[in-house]
Amino acid sequence: MAGAAKVQVSTAFEWPSREQFKKADLIVMFARGNWTEQKLNDLEQYLARGGGFVAVHPCVIANKALARKLAGLIGLAWEDGYTRWRHGPMDLKITAADHPICLGLPKTIHFLDEAYWPLKGDLGKVKVLATSDEKLSKDSDESKPEPMFYAYRYGKGRAFSCIPGHYTWTFDDPYFRILLLRGMAWAAGESPYRFDSLVLTGCADSGR
């Protein structure tokens, strides 16, 4: 992000400070949230006043008592210990080709990463951007599309979440970077294409 014009980056370990919450236009979280009522209250106040929030991979996880409250803030959440996950190939299907975040992307994108499903929350209030077909149960031959990238509005704020992001190689995938960087810009209330020029910066494999 150092290559982006008019962007100031500050880092936080475990949780942003009160001062960071006051100053931030966008918070991007990549960590297991260890969500508490206080953290959820902090996030709720931040989103309500117009802040942008991006949840990457494990921070959509919350315990049974808090999963639905987290889903109410970011759209969908994964209940720890109750739902399913797997590592392996993933054919990501773009389901909102007309959404600015997905503009120009192929209909299907192949990743090798980790999926979580099913997610808690009201799908009717969430803009699902991309899905992966996942089994209905461990022993089932049937599958259904499960949300992997999605956007949501809370109060004056915006939240963008992506389930993939377990492996470091995923962050070198240009298509993943497009989705993530556009999601970040969208959540911040900026043009979704503000960071497109950064997609290949330092990319270990730009052969897409």
What average pLDDT does the chain have?
93
- The Cβ of residue 48 has, within 10 Å, a number of other Cβ atoms equal to 13
User: So what's the pLDDT on residue 203?
Assistant: 73
The Cα–Cα gap between 55 and 43 comes to: 12
Q: How confident is the model at residue 139 (pLDDT cuts 50, 70, 90)?
A: confident
The one-letter amino acid code at 5 reads A
User: So what's the pLDDT on residue 206?
Assistant: 45
Which CATH superfamily is 18-198 part of?
Answer: Class I glutamine amidotransferase (GATase) domain (3.40.50.880)
Is residue 56 within 8 A of residue 30, CB to CB? The reply is yes
Return the SS3 of 64.
Answer: coil
Q: Which residues pair with 160 in a beta bridge?
A: 54, 151
- The Cβ of residue 34 has, within 10 Å, a number of other Cβ atoms equal to 13
Q: How confident is the model at residue 204 (pLDDT cuts 50, 70, 90)?
A: low
Model pLDDT for residues 78-135, shown as the tens digit of each residue: 998 777 899 999 999 999 999 999 999 999 999 999 999 999 999 999 999 999 999 9
Model pLDDT for residues 155-164, shown as the tens digit of each residue: 999 999 999 9
Of 91, 60, 92, nearest to 163 by C-alpha is 60
Of 147, 151, 131, nearest to 192 by C-alpha is 151
The Cα–Cα gap between 173 and 181 comes to: 12
Is residue 146 within 8 A of residue 118, CB to CB? The reply is yes
Model pLDDT for residues 17-49, shown as the tens digit of each residue: 999 999 999 999 998 878 999 999 999 999 999
